[in-house]
Structure 1
């Protein structure tokens, strides 16, 4: 038996049980162990943490020990000679109602801080059973065994009792039995130490040496993120996580008549396995049952395709394509024949490799001409490292050729498979600069925006620590969503109060579409309101309407097009979609300009464009 550091001792008031670490901050245990968590403090300690300290990264371990060496808050819960206990709180509950036969006897504890111990690893649930039986080991903390002790058991059969438990019986007629203090302990394979379930109860008669185990795949019904970690046939952790997020998004936004039982039946067919006696309490419950307990690996893909009919775009397309990997950059599949509009890719594409162009006003020239000077700096990002390709203070009329040459040089810094993104950082008064139409080079007069994905960003906002922090929070929120909310501001809305608009956008918008460009003072103030919100994505036409009435004006038509083609797409992929729209617009032979011909995109994700302090004021890092 491997005495792993992830074995946990749980204390809740006078109740003591066991648990096990599944992430650096989350511990699983039985709900009945922490039943008094609403009135008692909960603490967690790791009995073998010191014994396994050599397996952790030294720098991380030492930093952790220095940070917490003076803590004494939970010393009363710690037996002498054991590691210090860590405060924890219950963040998820399986719905256990307080009786022995109640289902859902699972609780998820979130530690007060991450711990530097390697979490438990899960075995395939089927590995718990076999002929001859597999020897199973569990590590609990019964009375007088504060340091813990072992018990050896085996699973009687893989048949679930009441759709919830597996019966355990003693491996031998002697040795430690399951007694109070083992509740919540991980049940592990003796040969590998991998987890197959959790002890949930024992026989009341001391002479009967059996108990019950909540199998890992049943625990994942009650805490969906656990499904990412429990092996299932045919699908890996990333595919399951992606499906879970898509199902959760559909559950939030889909119609109430989306019945998980009916979708399950359609996925397995009339002759497929019956649903569990308890039915399904959620869409994810049905999806997880297909993943973990139905042997037809294609059934869950059929479930996803059927569920797509109830989802919004692009969740719909992502569900229909699951579990296929995302299309590579440049793939035009799913483009409607003859339309040339942007194709709908599944989420999860390769990260961007930005080429950053920063243009900063730098006063007037010293030659007496009074020409405005600009500090032009072009850099390439290799991961999080930024390499300056060129930096020069130039008259404004010489910036374009210099920048275009440096952009071409910056491509030499990128890896062959890099997914390029050209990002212009501009002063707020230059945001409408037509950089997407710049001629790519002296030998190629096609627009730069048709050569690669191109976005603009606001110089003032990029240099604000507070706004960058808020942008990162916004992207963390958007990462869990396959689409973003578009807030429309049409030509008739130019009289809005910018202060009130900023406050409103902070709460209710992920993207803002303007029906007009930032030219006049009033419209520039509205753009500033969006930048201060901060909204990570802003779109607008570089030229505005000229009519006295704004009913069915050019700005309104532009916003309608945004809603039709871009509003429901994953915001992280908007640069690619807009690039494809620009390609279509620039190649159009129609007498009428394409609606996206002068489309401007402000897009900013600080995580892929970190700004090292050394570069903020100096052209050399």
Structure 2
């Protein structure tokens, strides 16, 4: 395979060539912002391979006019091309790589009658820096830079590794120049941070770095962060940073990992609550020596506990409250026949709810396994005014796990702790046409102790539900509407499963009751003839730390 297939030209949709670009992923190319000035769409060509491919222009830096820094743009192809992306050099090795007057190559597309590319050899070095942004390029004997070289990769012809991108040339000899400017990779990545996902960096793993960068996306580098950085490293950074990610990268690449652990911990208080807990979970998984993620306090609750009595078709109904991590006011246990359970529960919740007014609160139903699929969110929180409980987050729990001697409870503790340390849900989708018997499902869950959140495309079978409860799965979501499609290629269950899995995604487990509330609200205004993942939605959310004292009437 030709090692130079990543070299490309870029031009306007109307035709012609404006400059160069180079392929960094199957669908993305780097070029200069000034090359695609004023364009939302461009055309890209790989000489001798494919020509005139449409591409979307994404500007990354601050460039507005000649001489501005941040002359970086990304071109996004509509479809991937079958060519190997360029090899990128490690940023921390650029000084050594450019020593000894090593020669590099560039490839441009000047305006010539033959419309062919042209090549030139150049030398550069960090000591030829300009305004802490560019490195000066000097062409070799008989070579020139011209208009059409902007966006060209500066690469080592011996290894193919790219060290930077041509941005400017000093046209002093007619239309030719023997001096130009290069933006090194170490500066390009300051404007397009996703480039760090592609560079051969020497700290952590690529997946860990990508996850952290995405977690910090949009977080600014502020004065309080600068103070934390100086405190942890012992010196003030010479330059500011465009983002919090830039400062993390600075610590990771210039200091021992112990400083990175401390700086990442210092980032937490500057983040929103959800991101803060995700960061703590990330640290626990990827930074040895980091403090484990602390469980976050859950919302206040009315906890409804239903225990089936041994004889007669009756239940012991207890309504507790849970406030600031401890049991609050409650009602005495009342034994009622099954037909009166709803009436007694609605009255009990309505009586206890005022103790929680003004707080963020939810309603938890700890019920027998056979009752987990009941539509509790449709019961009334105000029976007189017919106001349904779905105005608040409603979840179900396995009442068996509330018993002090329950093995299910112990199993749930282990998975819930892992889930909180991870800081995100990582749901496991279970399609409606999954060919798994109850015993196979049981074995699958037992073998994967890291599975903590299950999402079903349809109401789970009894054997699946029992297996999940016995294995301590703390969170499950499903719609109570069964999928009865004859073909499951594009069935209702698959649509709902995709929507529900996407909605849960990387959300913190503590956010899931609110996620379910939002989905139920969205379903209210969705077309009734189309499936929606929030319609008839059940969320089993079983935090074993929310454990009110068992009622005196409970039969063991």
Residue 269 of structure 1: aligned partner: 231
From the superposition, tell whether residues 196 and 532 of structure 1 become closer, same or farther in structure 2 (CA, over 3 Å): same
CA distance in 2, matches of 1:191, 1:347: 45
Kept after mapping to 2: 8 A contact 1:160/1:166: yes
- Pairing 1:150-229 to 2, within 5 Å after superposition: 150-157=119-126, 160-170=129-139, 172=140, 174-206=141-173, 209-229=178-198
Residue 44 of structure 1: aligned partner: 44
Find 1:137's aligned residue among 105, 121, 138. 105
Q: Alpha-carbon deviations, 1:105-138, whole Å to 9, x = none?
A: 1111112332222222311023333232443222
Residue 307 of structure 1: aligned partner: 267
Find 2:439's aligned residue among 408, 412, 417. 408
TM-score by length of 2: 0.62
TM-score by length of 1: 0.56
Residue 234 of structure 1: aligned partner: 203
Of 150-159 and 3-12, the range deviating more from structure 2:
150-159
CA distance in 1, matches of 2:144, 2:283: 44
SS state at 1:97 partner:
coil
Kept after mapping to 1: 8 A contact 2:480/2:537: no
CA distance in 2, matches of 1:36, 1:422: 47
CA distance in 1, matches of 2:295, 2:217: 27
Kept after mapping to 1: 8 A contact 2:136/2:181: yes
After TM superposition, give the deviation of residue 34 of structure 1 in Å. 0.7
SS state at 1:263 partner:
helix
SS state at 1:31 partner:
coil
CA distance in 1, matches of 2:186, 2:479: 46
CA distance in 2, matches of 1:485, 1:333: 18
Kept after mapping to 1: 8 A contact 2:458/2:483: no
CA distance in 1, matches of 2:24, 2:492: 34
Residue 114 of structure 1: aligned partner: 80
Which 5+ residue runs of structure 1 have no aligned equivalent?
50-82, 252-257, 359-378, 380-385, 390-405, 441-445, 491-497, 507-527, 541-574, 594-621
After TM superposition, give the deviation of residue 346 of structure 1 in Å. 2.3
Q: CA RMSD in A?
A: 4.5
| 2:476 corresponds to 1:450 | no
SS state at 1:102 partner:
coil
- Pairing 1:21-420 to 2, within 5 Å after superposition: 21-37=23-39, 42-47=42-47, 49=49, 83-99=50-66, 101-130=67-96, 131-144=99-112, 146-157=115-126, 160-170=129-139, 172=140, 174-206=141-173, 209-248=178-217, 251=219, 259-269=221-231, 272=234, 274-277=236-239, 279-291=240-252, 294-320=254-280, 322-325=282-285, 334=294, 342-343=416-417, 344-346=420-422, 352=428, 388=435, 406-410=437-441, 416=447
From the superposition, tell whether residues 447 and 503 of structure 1 become closer, same or farther in structure 2 (CA, over 3 Å): closer
Kept after mapping to 2: 8 A contact 1:197/1:213: yes
From the superposition, tell whether residues 259 and 128 of structure 1 become closer, same or farther in structure 2 (CA, over 3 Å): closer
CA distance in 1, matches of 2:159, 2:516: 60
Q: Alpha-carbon deviations, 1:238-262, whole Å to 9, x = none?
A: 122111121127x3xxxxxx75343
CA distance in 1, matches of 2:195, 2:72: 12
CA distance in 2, matches of 1:474, 1:457: 9
Kept after mapping to 2: 8 A contact 1:184/1:199: yes
Which 5+ residue runs of structure 2 have no aligned equivalent?
298-324, 327-412
Kept after mapping to 2: 8 A contact 1:353/1:418: no
After TM superposition, give the deviation of residue 159 of structure 1 in Å. 6.7
SS state at 1:151 partner:
strand
| 2:555 corresponds to 1:534 | no
From the superposition, tell whether residues 416 and 313 of structure 1 become closer, same or farther in structure 2 (CA, over 3 Å): same
Aligned length in residues: 418
CA distance in 2, matches of 1:128, 1:452: 49
From the superposition, tell whether residues 151 and 465 of structure 1 become closer, same or farther in structure 2 (CA, over 3 Å): farther
CA distance in 2, matches of 1:437, 1:88: 48
Kept after mapping to 2: 8 A contact 1:17/1:180: yes
CA distance in 1, matches of 2:465, 2:549: 18
From the superposition, tell whether residues 482 and 35 of structure 1 become closer, same or farther in structure 2 (CA, over 3 Å): farther
Kept after mapping to 1: 8 A contact 2:441/2:464: no
After TM superposition, give the deviation of residue 37 of structure 1 in Å. 1.1
From the superposition, tell whether residues 161 and 17 of structure 1 become closer, same or farther in structure 2 (CA, over 3 Å): same
After TM superposition, give the deviation of residue 589 of structure 1 in Å. 9.4
After TM superposition, give the deviation of residue 42 of structure 1 in Å. 1.7
Kept after mapping to 2: 8 A contact 1:128/1:189: no
CA distance in 2, matches of 1:302, 1:194: 34
CA distance in 1, matches of 2:94, 2:118: 21
After TM superposition, give the deviation of residue 215 of structure 1 in Å. 1.3
Residue 367 of structure 2: aligned partner: none
CA distance in 1, matches of 2:129, 2:506: 34
Kept after mapping to 2: 8 A contact 1:43/1:85: yes
Kept after mapping to 2: 8 A contact 1:18/1:182: yes
CA distance in 2, matches of 1:473, 1:425: 9
